[in-house]
C-alpha cells in the first residue's frame, strides 16, 4: 500500500468515526450548559457559577431578572443556542478551556436537572474568609426578589425535573423569609437531591423535615474546635447556637435511619485556625453529636495568593485531618482548594 492509499484509509475511518459520533450526539459540552442554571445576586440568570480563568465563565441567560415567571420557550431557546455552540465545536467565549468541559453523549431534550440559588445577600455571620460581595453594595446596586412563584411554575410546566440537584447557597439561605417556603415547595413536590449550605446559626424547621424525609444533604462550616476560635473565624458569637442546632438535625437524621446527610466542614484559614488542638476538638465534637460526615476545605482566596509557596506544614495538617477522619470512620469530602494543596505536595 502506498502513502496516498494509506492516507485515504485513515481519512475514511476518521469520517466514519465522526459520523458515528454525530449520530450518537457525542460532543464536548458541560452538564450545566446542557441542563443547568443558577440565579446570582446581581439580578442575573446564568448557566453556572464557575469562574473560568480570564474567560470569565458564568454565561448569561437573562439580565435584570427580578423574579418574573420565566417564559419556558424563551428560556430554552437561549439554552439551545448555548448547546448549538457546543455542538459546533466553538463554545461560548466564557467557557473556553473550562475544566468542566467533557466529551460524551448528550441528550437533546429541554429540561433542567441542576439549579443553584445564590440570589440572596444577607448573612448572620461574618466569616473572615468569605469572598461574597457585601450586602451594602448589592443592596445599593441590585434588586432583591422572591423566586418561589417562578420556581413553582417551572415545576408545574415540567422545566425542572424531580431528580434535579437543587443547591441552596447564599448569602445565608436560612435568614430569608422565602427560604422555608421555597424549601417546602421542593419537599412537597418530592425532590430528594437537595443541598443546603448554611452557617447553622438559624434553626430551620424545613431542614429538619427534609432530614426526616431523607431529601437533603446539609453542610455547615464549623472551621474550629473551640468556641474562641469559632468566634475568631466567624466574627460573631454563635458556637453554642450552631452546635445546639446540629444536635437537633442529627436527631432528625437518626430518626430517618439515614447516614451521611449532615456534613460538618472545616475551611482551613492558614495562620488562623490550622492547629492540631483545634482539629482534635473539632473531631471530638463531631463524634459527640453523632455526625458521620466531614469535609476539608481551604480558603480559596488564600490559595490563589500562596499556591506557589512552600506549604509543607499546611499539607501536614491537611493530612492529619484526613487521618483523623479515617480513624473515626467518617465520610470525608475534600474541596478543590484543599485537594490542590495536597496535590502540590506530591513530587
Return the range that interacts with ligand SF4 (CB under 6 A); candidates 126-134, 152-160, 183-191, 212-220: 126-134
Considering the rule CB under 6 A, would residue 127 count as an interface residue with ligand SF4? Answer: yes
DSSP 84-140: HHHHTT---GGGTT-TT-EEEE------EEEEEE------S---TT--PPPHHHHHH
Degrees, nearest 5: CA angle 215-216-221: 170
Specify whether the CB–CB gap between 168 and 117 falls below 8 A: yes
What grid cell was written down for 143? 434588586
Contact between 324 and ligand SF4 per CB under 6 A: no
Element spanning 211, H or E: helix 205-212
Q: Is 308 helix (H, G, I), strand (E, B) or coil?
A: coil
For position 125 contacting ligand SF4 by CB under 6 A, the verdict is yes
Pick from 61, 95, 160, 220: which binds ligand SF4 (CB under 6 A)? 95
Residue selected from 101, 155, 256, 289 as contacting ligand SF4 according to rule CB under 6 A: 101
Task: Please give the residues from 20 up to 49 whose contact with ligand SF4 meets the rule CB under 6 A.
Answer: 30, 32-33, 47-48
Binding mask 182-201 for ligand SAM (x = CB under 6 A): ---------------xxx--
Task: For ligand SAM, give the closer residue by CB, 172 or 292.
Answer: 172
Q: What whole-number distance in Å separates Cα of residue 282 and Cα of residue 265? A: 10
**Minimum CB–partner distance for residue 88 and ligand SF4 (Å):** 15
Peptide bond between residue 171 and the one before it cis (omega within 30 degrees of 0): yes
Q: Could you give the CA distance from residue 117 to residue 105 in angstroms, rounded to a whole number?
A: 28
Q: Residues binding ligand SF4: what is the number (CB under 6 A)?
A: 24
Which stretches of the chain bind ligand SF4, using CB under 6 A?
A: 30, 32-33, 47-48, 50, 52, 57, 59, 94-95, 98, 100-101, 123, 125-127, 130, 132, 170-172, 199
Which stretches of the chain bind ligand SAM, using CB under 6 A?
A: 123, 129-132, 169-170, 172, 197-199, 219, 221, 265, 267, 297, 299-301
Amino acid at each position: 500500500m502506498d502513502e496516498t492509499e494509506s492516507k485515504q484509509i485513515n481519512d475514511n475511518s476518521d469520517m466514519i468515526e465522526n459520523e458515528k459520533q454525530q449520530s450518537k450526539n457525542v460532543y464536548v459540552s458541560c452538564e450545566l450548559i446542557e441542563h443547568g442554571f443558577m440565579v446570582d445576586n446581581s439580578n442575573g440568570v446564568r448557566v453556572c457559577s464557575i469562574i473560568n480563568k480570564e474567560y470569565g465563565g458564568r454565561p448569561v441567560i437573562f439580565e435584570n431578572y427580578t423574579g418574573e415567571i420565566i417564559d419556558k420557550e424563551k428560556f430554552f431557546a437561549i439554552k439551545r443556542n448555548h448547546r448549538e455552540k457546543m455542538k459546533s465545536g466553538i463554545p461560548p467565549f466564557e467557557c473556553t478551556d473550562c475544566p468542566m468541559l467533557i466529551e460524551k453523549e448528550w441528550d437533546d431534550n429541554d429540561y433542567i436537572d441542576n439549579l443553584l440559588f445564590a440570589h440572596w445577600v444577607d448573612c448572620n455571620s461574618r466569616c473572615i474568609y468569605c469572598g461574597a460581595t457585601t450586602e451594602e453594595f448589592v443592596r445599593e446596586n441590585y434588586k432583591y426578589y422572591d423566586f418561589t412563584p417562578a420556581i413553582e411554575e417551572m415545576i408545574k410546566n415540567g422545566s425542572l425535573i424531580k431528580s434535579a440537584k437543587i443547591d441552596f447557597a447564599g448569602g445565608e439561605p436560612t435568614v430569608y423569609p422565602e427560604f422555608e417556603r421555597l424549601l417546602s415547595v421542593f419537599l412537597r413536590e418530592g425532590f430528594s437531591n437537595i443541598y443546603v449550605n448554611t452557617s447553622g446559626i438559624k434553626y430551620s424547621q424545613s431542614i429538619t423535615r427534609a432530614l426526616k424525609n431523607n431529601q437533603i444533604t446539609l453542610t455547615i462550616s464549623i472551621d474550629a474546635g473551640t468556641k474562641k476560635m469559632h468566634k475568631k473565624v466567624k466574627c460573631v458569637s454563635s458556637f453554642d447556637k450552631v452546635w445546639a442546632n446540629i444536635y437537633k438535625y442529627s436527631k432528625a437524621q437518626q430518626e430517618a435511619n439515614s447516614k451521611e446527610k449532615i456534613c460538618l466542614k472545616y475551611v482551613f484559614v492558614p495562620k488562623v485556625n490550622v492547629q492540631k488542638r483545634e482539629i482534635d476538638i473539632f473531631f471530638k465534637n463531631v463524634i459527640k453529636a453523632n455526625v458521620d460526615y466531614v469535609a476539608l476545605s481551604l480558603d480559596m482566596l488564600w490559595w490563589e495568593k500562596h499556591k506557589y509557596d512552600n506549604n509543607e506544614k499546611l499539607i501536614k495538617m491537611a493530612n492529619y485531618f484526613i487521618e483523623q477522619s479515617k480513624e473515626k470512620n467518617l465520610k470525608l469530602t475534600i474541596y478543590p482548594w484543599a485537594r490542590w494543596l495536597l496535590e502540590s505536595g506530591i513530587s
